[in-house]
Amino acid sequence: MRVSTAYFTQRGLTSILEQQARLADIQEQISSGKRILRPSDDPTGAAQILRLDQALSVTDQYQRNAGNALNRLTLEESTLDSVQDSLIRIREIAIQGTNSTIGNDDRKALAQEVRERLNEIVSLANTKDANQEYLFSGYKVTTKPFTEAADGTFVYSGDQGQRALQISSGRQMMDSDSGNDVFVNVKNGNGTFQTNANVLNGGTGVFDIGQVVDPTAYVSDTYTITIGGTSGNLTYGVTGAASGVVVASGTAFSDGGTIQFNGLQTGITGTPNVGDTFTISPSSTQDMFTSVQNLVKALETTTSSPAGQSDILNLINPALSEIDLAFENITRVRTSVGARLKTIDDQINVNEGFKIELASTLSKVRDLDIAEAAVELQSRLIALEAAQTTYTRIQGLSLFDHI
């Protein structure tokens, strides 16, 4: 085939330019370390990179959320641990207070310590986290949850909300518990019913806080136990406000013996007077501060008579039971916090694994295989040199040189 001289020159030049463009491409890839420089290099890959990038960054965010939840829950856990320490000390004091050998002054000293412990618990319940949010006020994180009213009772101003954080695409984790759940929502008495000895009682009867022995037979009602008979030959009878007579009056009474009816069991130790009354009523909700305050009131009672002594026991015993219930409630919350901490820890590990997986997939899609690229660069350099050499060699040839 004929080749025109002009085209011959042109073609040599075009091929050099082409080789240069290919070289520039690979140079750009190598210097950026990326296989895909613009969407047209690999449209599917480009969309995939966007997706992976987002997944990676979302997972990072989940890790941050999980870290925040972990911090708050760890703080909650240590706060509740301190609360329980205080409760244990209060319980010890309460038991000391039941000792009949200590006098009024000793009890006052004990009451003083319980007060201090109570203040300690209140300030723990008003704990703020590092972000100045109250830990135990539900959603109302900027509202101080527990304040003391003029009458000395404690008012809960938070709400019952519990905040969740997203720690993975399908999992939200509660990062706190409301003060209502931790400190307020505790039953008084033994959890089902409360026992109450009439303050006007003249005898030394100490009312047991009792328990439910047969839940199916238990009937929730307000019962009154009335002591009858004669001194030395005491009897009792029980009447329910709704149930009517459940134990006929005249039933023989024994010191420390059990009194059992409608699925519940209690007892009276000591010697009540004829006409003394004891009542059993359904438990209601009572915050733990009130329970502790009840204990303080019992310890501050001044007495010198055996009857007065039994009055104090009749106050301390329910308070002790309520402190135990409060303790149990906090244990329940701590168990849940512990489980959440464990779940978050696990999730952090899972997220970390997922991130590594994502990063390696992303790298496969986006990053350049440097070794392969270096070989490619070498071969393109050779091609360019060849094109240049050919061009100069061929350009020199002309028949006119030989005429």
Partner 1 sequence: MSILNAAISGLLASQRSLATVSHNISNVHTEGYSRQRVNLVAREPQYVGVGYVGSGAETSSITRITDQFITTQLRTSTSSSSETNSFLTLASRVDNMLADAETGLSPSLQNFFSAIQDVNDLPSSATARQVMISEAASLAERFQFLDDRLSDLGDEVKIQLNDDISDINTIANSLAGINSRIVEATGLAGGAPPNDLLDQREVLILDLAELVTVNTVEQNDSSLNIFIGKGQPLVIGNTASSLGVTETYEGHYEVSLTNPFSSSIITDSISGGSLGGQINFQTQMLEPAKNALGRLAIGVSETFNDQHRLGASLDGDVNTAFFNVGAPRVSALGTAPNNVTSGITDPSALSDSDYNLTYNGGNSYTLTRLSDATTTAINTGGTSPYTTPAIDGFTMNITAGAAASDQYIIRPTVNGASDISVLISDPRKVAVAGPLKGGVATNASGVPTNIGNAAITDVNISTTAGVPLASNITLTFDAANNRFDISAPPGGTLAYNPATDNAGMQFTIASAGNATFTVSGFPEDGDEFLIQNNTGADGDNRNGLLLSDLQSNRLLLNGSASYQDTYGQMVAGVGSTTRQSEISSEALEVLKEQTIEARESVSGVNLDEEAANMLKFQQSYSAAAQMISVADNLFNSLINAFR
Which residues would be at the binding site for partner 1 (CB under 8 A)?
Answer: 1-7, 11, 14, 37-44, 46-47, 50-51, 53-54, 57-58, 61, 64-65, 68, 131, 133, 137-143, 149, 153-161, 163-166, 169, 172, 180, 184-185, 220, 282, 284-287, 398-400, 403
Residue 96 vs 361, nearer CB to partner 1: 361
Residue 154 vs 207, nearer CB to partner 1: 154
**Single-letter residue type at 251:** T
Rounded to a whole number of angstroms, the minimum distance from the CB of residue 38 to partner 1 is: 4
Rounded to a whole number of angstroms, the minimum distance from the CB of residue 87 to partner 1 is: 19
Q: DSSP letters of 65-77?
A: HHHHHHHHHHHHH
Rounded to a whole number of angstroms, the minimum distance from the CB of residue 171 to partner 1 is: 12
Residue 154 vs 253, nearer CB to partner 1: 154
Rounded to a whole number of angstroms, the minimum distance from the CB of residue 168 to partner 1 is: 11
Give the DSSP H or E segment for 53.
helix 43-97
Query: Is residue 160 helix, strand or coil?
Result: coil
Rounded to a whole number of angstroms, the minimum distance from the CB of residue 12 to partner 1 is: 13
Query: Is residue 250 helix, strand or coil?
Result: strand
Residue 200 vs 397, nearer CB to partner 1: 397
Residue 167 vs 227, nearer CB to partner 1: 167
3-state percent breakdown (helix, strand, coil) of the chain, nearest 5:
55, 20, 30
Residue among 224, 226, 227 nearest 242 (CA): 224
Query: Which residues are CB-neighbours of 23 under 8 A, at least 6 positions away?
Result: 377, 380, 381, 384
Residue 290 vs 317, nearer CB to partner 1: 290
Rounded to a whole number of angstroms, the minimum distance from the CB of residue 158 to partner 1 is: 7
Q: How far apart are the first and last CA of the chain?
A: 24
Q: Is the separation of the CB atoms in 362 and 53 below 8 Å?
A: yes
